[in-house]
Every structure is written in C-alpha cells, then in structure tokens.
Amino acid sequence: MKKHDFGTLPIKDLVSISQLCAADIATIFSAAGELKRNRYKHDALLRGRRLAMIFEKESLRTRFTFDVGIQDLGGSAVFLDHRDARLGSRESIKDVARNLERWVHGIVARTFKHKHVEELAANCSIPVVNGLSDFMHPCQALTDFFTLTEKLGDVRGRKLAYVGDGNNTCHSLLQVASKLGCHISVGTPEGYEPNSRIVSEAMLSSRESGSIVEITNDAEAAVAGADAVYTDVWASMGQEDEREERAAIFLDYQVDEDLMARAKPNALFMHCLPAHRGHEVSAGVMDGPNAVVYDIAENRLHVQKAILVLLMGKPALVPVGV
C-alpha cells in the first residue's frame, strides 16, 4: 500500500478552533478520511506513544473514541479521573503538566474551566487537546463539519442552523463554519446568545471566507432554508441546577417536525449527544431518517485519530527519555 502523506499542522496543541485556518481544517479532514477508509492499516503510526486523559466531567463519546483511537494507532491511554479532585485542587496545573510531559506523549483534557486547558498547554512541551471545556468543544465541531462534508460535499455556501443554548459547542461551530465559508444562523432565547467575542471573531473570519453569520432570537428564522439543523442540550454539565428554569425558557426552541419543516426538504438533523427526546429535540426528529447523529458519533473516532496523528506524530515533540 502506498504510504499516505498525512501532512502537518503548524500548532503544538488544539485548544480552540481559532488556532486553525481553513487549510489546517482540510488537513485534518483528509487525515480523518484516510484513517476511516483504512482503519486497520495505520496501526503503527503512534506505536509506543502514550496518551493521558484528564476528565473532570462525565463522558461516553470523547473518552471512548480517544481511548480506542490511540489503540488503533498502536499507542495506549491512561485515564485520570479528576471528577472528585479537579485540576489545580491537589497541586498546581503547572506541576501536573510538568509531571505528565515526562511520562506521556500527549494529553486530552475535559475540564469545567477553559483556562485550565490553556494552562496545561502553556506549561508542557507535549500536545494538549481540548476534549471539551465550558467555552469550547473543538473536536466536536470538527467532527460535525467532517460529517457534513461526507453528506453534502463542499460546505461552502451551505447553511447550518443552530437552535438552543449559545454554549461551547455553538462557539466552536461558529468558528469552523466561518472559516470554511458555510453560512451559520444561531437561534437562541434572549440572554442565551453565544459569547459576543466569539461572534465578532466569526464575523471577521466570514469576511474572508464569504460566509454569513447570523444571531437571532427567532428559531424559525434561524432554520429557514437550512441544509442542516443542529441542537444541543439546554443545560450543559455544570448547569444542572438551572435545568427546570431553562426547560421553560427554551420550550419554543425544541427542534421538532414543525421547525424542521422550515429548513430545506430532507435537511439533516445534527446533535452532539447525549440527547433528551421531548426537550431540545422531538423523538420523531431524533430517530427520523434525516438524523445523522450516530454518523457524527462514529466520526468522532476518525477525526480525533487524525488530530492525534497530526499532533503526536511529530518526533520533535516526543519527550526525551520516554
């Protein structure tokens, strides 16, 4: 088999999509496509490499796909459960980073505070990947758009509608869409819009890519003419005490059959999971023929493997003596 050129990324870490340009995203997608097509033919790319997985929050898809992914590539993973003792509580994040860089070749971190991922990355020589923070979810958004390119081809000029809470997933979707030339319309209740700085950055990127970025409080307007409709839980991890209040506020933002009818015929339905049928999405939409939620879940494996290869496969970043 001819050796595949996976390319390179001009970054040490993946903390936010803001670190990537459109060409970098294309490199990730190309690598993910090759790893998906030939899943068991690249089982030595990260042979002997070890991945530390630091999780302050519960996880199914992120934890499982990174663990299986590094094994598929010939490496191994060590899980560090920080749900009881969060980063920085027992010892400084700087010291955690300085220790881990002596033992492993990369870190995936899922944290409550985005600044903790940034601090890990700033204090160690090995790659750090953001597996979700309160502000960003870059691996998810990259996977979402990788899936869209599989289903729709080039996303330039297409429209993605996001309905619900302007949360971490929404922020990363705004960043990817605006870099790839995909129009994106976000519909949220008043007071739950995405972060204004992220919106401003997305609008700036959209001027270069030709995309349109819209923020509205009208769910129907957001979905009108969309090629794909996306939603997420109304209360993210760490917001459990707001669940009942948010359920009342977001009632008109459920993605049901009537709202999907405002999109293009056969528009795709997307969700990062876990989903709550009867809340942010109706059972009919979630389990309907146009839902690609499990395709997205599958593709988390391939996209995250690509990220690991592109970051951890750089010999210069392997710690001395490991």
pLDDT of the residue at 237: 66
CATH number, residue 192: 3.40.50.1370
Q: Which of 42, 271, 279, 300 is catalytic?
A: 300
pLDDT of the residue at 130: 98
| Structural domain range at position 108 | 17-136+300-316
Q: What is the mean pLDDT of residues 31-55?
A: 96
Annotation marks residue 37 as catalytic: no
Q: What is the mean pLDDT of residues 10-33?
A: 98
Same domain, 184 and 86: no
Same domain, 112 and 215: no
Annotation marks residue 262 as catalytic: no
Q: Which of 24, 134, 144, 232 is catalytic?
A: 232
Same domain, 183 and 96: no
pLDDT digits (tens, 9 = 90+) for 144-177: 999 999 999 999 999 999 999 999 999 999 999 9
Q: Which of 137, 246, 279, 302 is catalytic?
A: 137
Is 321 contained in some domain? no
Annotation marks residue 114 as catalytic: no
Beta bridge partners of 53: 79, 108
Same domain, 46 and 101: yes
pLDDT of the residue at 148: 98
pLDDT of the residue at 267: 98
Same domain, 82 and 119: yes
Task: Report the number of distinct structural domains present in the chain.
Answer: 2
Residue pair 285/256 in contact (Cβ under 8 Å)? The answer is yes
pLDDT of the residue at 315: 55
Is 82 contained in some domain? yes
> pLDDT at residue 141 above 60?
yes
pTM over 0.85: yes
Is 11 contained in some domain? no
Q: Which of 49, 50, 61, 110 is catalytic?
A: 110
Q: What is the mean pLDDT of residues 64-70?
A: 98
Q: pLDDT band at residue 85, thresholds of 50, 70 and 90? A: low
Is 4 contained in some domain? no
DSSP for 74-116, written as a single string: T-EEEEEE-SSS-TTTSS-HHHHHHHHTTT-SEEEEE-SSHHH
Q: Which of 139, 170, 182, 272 is catalytic?
A: 272
Same domain, 151 and 270: yes
Is 308 contained in some domain? yes
Mean of the per-residue pLDDT values of the chain: 94
Same domain, 116 and 199: no
pLDDT digits (tens, 9 = 90+) for 199-248: 999 999 999 999 999 999 999 999 999 999 999 999 876 677 788 899 99
pLDDT of the residue at 243: 83
Q: Which two tokens stand for residue 201?
A: 């950055």
Annotation marks residue 140 as catalytic: yes
Same domain, 188 and 230: yes
> pLDDT at residue 86 above 80?
no
Same domain, 196 and 147: yes
Give the total residue count for the chain: 322
